[in-house]
Structure 1
């Protein structure tokens, strides 16, 4: 099914306004988004593109501050005082999305973000954030972004998932009283698998095309094959050196806005275990010993499994 005639004319970065210098091919999107859930190993993609600063502008979870802190916030995690003191109170969905969607004048733009930051599950589909000033959308759109803004032709939407038994405990370890992240409790509703599925299904239905979806496990097992396939899909020249970023200072500072969440990424030097054999032949590292989750975390992981397995059924397999 293609986008219907009820789409309003795009007001931000429509295909006609994409600068010729931002893309060498009319079939190649100038803006790329990787939609994820928390702790999906998605920062690896950011590090790869941060290491190419002359080619890419990289945005790290640009919708997050709006979802957590703004006057239009959906999250109930922080009280009014914290939100007011955050400095993000005047952000809005329209303002944040404009930054995501606007093409860069000379480079391509990459954003990594959480699908849940676009969605208010307490509101019916077809609800638009107030800051879009009554813009029309389609009734089955689960996001707060008008359909014509979300599905602009110069934006490529891709997805990454990780098994809940890995992602849930990884997230919970960062959410406890006194945590440096400022997240002082674990909230299972923030795992975001449901919202990722909602966004994936909507894009698939409205465009008539299945977005590229990659599994974290495959990325870590065969990084060069997976990254090459992802690059081909979005029109990026794959370079083997993308898989390592030892001397890229950008990866040390890029993640500071969410303190404590990306310390491992900031210290990392490449994707997965980059032993000589693994780099050359994409051989998987020795598996880590499985740990038993607490009943609380196992329930949280189990609650994500239906959405995870559904999304996984669309994951690219032929690397």
Structure 2
């Protein structure tokens, strides 16, 4: 949904959707072993590398500003010690405290502004889990709590804060939904975007932009604005918000396990 706002500014922004994901899941450098060797070969992404993917993110576009939405977890391999770069960087120098697979001088280039969007675990965990089951349209046939990414987000946040001397900008999803004009306006002011209220609304249509990860972004594809869904959702706009459903003990544990990192990041969020 945040991407949809910037897709509205098509004359100003070139928007990338999770460009590091193929390297994380499918490449020969992959960190997560969710998919088999055969699935990786069939994906067409086996030759992806972290070096190529980050170059796509970080190289200035000839005519547009670049906005790249990604997961902090795609940049980090928790099994490796900090200061380890991806193989495609051929042991390029980095800093010993860098938790990511990207060399520090490339991760923190002066023209790049890192910002964070966080969502409460009690909503993010069940939202993710419901799309991970055998036969799921997403292709994720089991739920893996390690993919929630709160720990990696905190590690990346703290690294950037330590290196730059300033905490990165943090937006809380719930605050954005509750006060879209205020929060989006302040985000834009912080990163040098001319905010327009029409950024917050768009036509409902399937977007090619989201097709690389099938099944994950149905709500975003059907949405017509920040916090709004198309026709069927609009028909219910006067109803009270749905209450959170009770979680199974297993999912509640995943929520609880991520709360400390979430609350830490939330302490830096826009208010």
The CA deviation string for residues 146-180 of structure 1, in whole angstroms up to 9 with x for no partner, is 00000000001000111100000000000001101
Distance 1:243 1:185 in 2: 34
Indicate the SS of the match to 1:149.
helix
Please report the TM-score for the alignment, with normalisation by the length of structure 2: 0.95
Please report the TM-score for the alignment, with normalisation by the length of structure 1: 0.81
For 2:214, which of 249, 259, 264 is the aligned residue? 259
Report what 2:187 is aligned to: 230
Q: For structure 1, list consecutive stretches of 5 or more residues without a partner in the other structure.
A: 1-43, 275-283
Once the 2 structures are TM-superposed, how far is the Cα of residue 290 of structure 1 from its aligned partner?
A: 2.1
Q: Please say if residues 164 and 301 of structure 1, whose CA atoms lie closer than 8 Å, have aligned partners that are also in contact.
A: yes
Tell whether 2:157 aligns with 1:203: no
Once the 2 structures are TM-superposed, how far is the Cα of residue 252 of structure 1 from its aligned partner?
A: 2.0
Q: Please say if residues 118 and 170 of structure 2, whose CA atoms lie closer than 8 Å, have aligned partners that are also in contact.
A: yes
Q: Please say if residues 120 and 144 of structure 1, whose CA atoms lie closer than 8 Å, have aligned partners that are also in contact.
A: yes
Indicate the SS of the match to 1:57.
strand
Once the 2 structures are TM-superposed, how far is the Cα of residue 287 of structure 1 from its aligned partner?
A: 3.1
Once the 2 structures are TM-superposed, how far is the Cα of residue 258 of structure 1 from its aligned partner?
A: 0.3
Number of equivalences? 264
Trace 1:12-161 onto structure 2 (pairs within 5 A).
44-161=1-118
Distance 1:144 1:120 in 2: 7
Q: Please say if residues 156 and 234 of structure 1, whose CA atoms lie closer than 8 Å, have aligned partners that are also in contact.
A: yes
Distance 1:316 1:285, change over 3 A: farther
Distance 1:138 1:103 in 2: 24
Higher relative contact order (CA 8 A, sep 6+): 1
Once the 2 structures are TM-superposed, how far is the Cα of residue 285 of structure 1 from its aligned partner?
A: 8.2
Report what 1:308 is aligned to: 262
For 2:253, which of 299, 306, 314 is the aligned residue? 299
Q: Please say if residues 193 and 308 of structure 1, whose CA atoms lie closer than 8 Å, have aligned partners that are also in contact.
A: yes
RMSD: 1.5
Q: Please say if residues 253 and 266 of structure 1, whose CA atoms lie closer than 8 Å, have aligned partners that are also in contact.
A: no
